[in-house]
Amino acid sequence: NAGVTQTPKFQVLKTGQSMTLQCAQDMNHNSMYWYRQDPGMGLRLIYYSASEGTTDKGEVPNGYNVSRLNKREFSLRLESAAPSQTSVYFCASDAETEAFFGQGTRLTVV
Partner 1 sequence: DQQVKQNSPSLSVQEGRISILNCDYTNSMFDYFLWYKKYPAEGPTFLISISSIKDKNEDGRFTVFLNKSAKHLSLHIVPSQPGDSAVYFCAASGLGGGADGLTFGKGTHLIIQP
Listed in sequence order, the DSSP H helices in 43-98 are none
CB 47 within 8 A of CB 31: no
CB 25 within 8 A of CB 3: yes
58 binds partner 1 (CB under 8 A): yes
98 binds partner 1 (CB under 8 A): yes
104 binds partner 1 (CB under 8 A): yes
CB atoms within 10 A of CB 37: 15
Site string for partner 1, 5-34 (x = CB under 8 A): -------------------------xx-x-
86 binds partner 1 (CB under 8 A): no
The span from the CA of 31 to the CA of 54, in Å, is: 10
**Binding residues vs partner 1 (CB under 8 A):** 4, 30-31, 33, 35, 40-45, 48, 50-51, 56, 58, 90, 92, 94, 96-104
